[in-house]
Homo-oligomer: A and B are copies of this chain.
């Protein structure tokens, strides 16, 4: 009997006919509009349920010209925890809000980013969570200015709130940690200064060096696009240079994985022959032996804030009148990474022998 519930596609009109009321009443009841007599509303809801009615989100969003049906989630990659953890958390929070998340991968390609952003506004997304590509295009910036945006991990000079790791602070700390152990020859492998987070990390490193009484300009370093391969490459280059460093700090998650591999491949023993500080999610490094001293970032925390931030921004929609935004922008949220010292850092060889 009930099994023949094929693609019947029940709509408001059907419900209205069934119950002898108007589509308007149906709509109101289903949206919890208090103007409907409670008893009637209940009956309508039950009937809708019984007939297996599911509202067409497209029609709804089209009609109510503003809606929370979709938000866009735009990231360079999804197969690294820095992004996937945030994606997971945002999906969860948005879903609880009845909003669907359109996932979009840019692979750090500015053209692709722009194209996909256009498609997203074409889908009338209520807002956007984005980790911008390195070389963001101008039209992209303009687009971003036209709707609620929350950025994370990377900032791209637009006027939108964002959540970021407080990398500068953490990186400085890691240098001081090494210096306290007695290291003076510290090398840095990090991410392009064109990335806002790359720049912040480098600033931190330099500040740490200065605070430790070392000359930042003497420091051997490599700034590369953040990939595992570059992590390996960077280590190989840095360890081949004259005046080999006794300690290496890596500023970037993917770089760190590659770097740790390369260090092991080079045969250098941690921490006897080299001290190593990596960056990222501790889970990545769980298997390495010895455990690595890590600048730990809580991506979960970051994700929560990003999602919540967008939630607030969406609720700011339709400020009744007047141009002044009542909610003061609290500036960027900083998630403070924590330096977790472990077995990969120790005094340098010279010190230990002396």
Contacts and interface: CB of A to CB of B under 8 A. Distances in A.
Contacts of A7: 146
- Which of A55, A58, A107 is packed against the most chain B CB atoms within 10 Å? A58
B103 A116 contact: no
Copies of this chain, count: 2
- Chain A contact patch, size range: 35 or more
- Which of A95, A98, A101, A146 is packed against the most chain B CB atoms within 10 Å? A95
A87 B78 contact: yes
A79 B85 CA distance: 6
Interface in A119-134: 119-124
A104 B257 CA distance: 28
A260 interface: yes
Interface stretch (A177-185, A280-288, A321-329): A280-288
Contacts of A107: 92
A304 interface: no
A239 B124 CA distance: 56
Contacts of A73: 103
A78 B100 contact: no
Given A56-B62, A62-B58, A103 B103 contact: yes
A292 to B, nearest CB: 8
B122 A57 contact: yes
A84 interface: yes
A309 interface: no
Given A54-B121, A62-B56, A105 B78 contact: no
A333 interface: no
A93 B62 CA distance: 27
A298 interface: no
A110 interface: no
Contact of A261 (B103, B119, B286): B286
A329 B354 CA distance: 73
Given A84-B84, A285-B287, 15 more contacts: A7-B146, A57-B122, A59-B62, A73-B103, A78-B87, A79-B87, A80-B84, A98-B119, A101-B102, A102-B102, A103-B103, A228-B283, A257-B287, A264-B289, A288-B289
23 contacts: A54-B121, A55-B122, A56-B62, A56-B122, A57-B122, A58-B123, A58-B124, A69-B123, A78-B78, A78-B91, A79-B81, A79-B88, A80-B84, A91-B104, A92-B107, A95-B105, A100-B104, A100-B119, A101-B103, A101-B104, A257-B287, A264-B289, A285-B287
